[in-house]
Amino acid sequence: MRNVFTYVRLYGEDTYYEPNGMPPATLARPGSLEKILVLSDRLERGLAMHHPDDEKVLATQEQEDEAKSYVADASRRSSRKDYVKEMQKRFGT
């Protein structure tokens, strides 16, 4: 199964979805923009969202602010309907 979005489209829920595998560990700090992008890539590829060896030291305040700004800008750029269409297109659902 390509990713959870494809699974939900086919079965209507994600209760029994199993990721396509374990991703490599990342040094991206939780709360940072880099970690958000890593998680987005993992989701798109259908991999598990977290690896036991992922970095556990939290992002600095500056890194958190950058991530918050990125997420806020992305949500302002599109309405929910546009966002759903974009995700469907991006994830092939």
CA atoms within 13 A on the CB side of 53: 5
Is residue 72 a part of any domain in this protein?
Answer: yes
Assess contact for 31 and 7: CB atoms under 8 A: no
pLDDT at res. 72: 82
Is residue 39 a part of any domain in this protein?
Answer: yes
CA 29/CA 37 separation, integer angstroms: 11
Q: Is the pLDDT of residue 91 over 80?
A: no
CA dihedral of 46, 52, 58, 62, whole degrees rounded to 10: -30
Is residue 43 a part of any domain in this protein?
Answer: yes
Q: How many domains does the chain have?
A: 1
Is residue 93 a part of any domain in this protein?
Answer: no
Q: Which domain holds residue 57?
A: 4-88
| Per-residue pLDDT reduced to its tens digit, 22-80 | 999 999 999 999 999 999 999 999 999 999 999 999 999 999 999 888 888 877 765 66
Is residue 62 a part of any domain in this protein?
Answer: yes
Please choose, from the candidates 41, 34, 43, 26, the residue with its C-alpha nearest in 3D space to the C-alpha of residue 70: 34
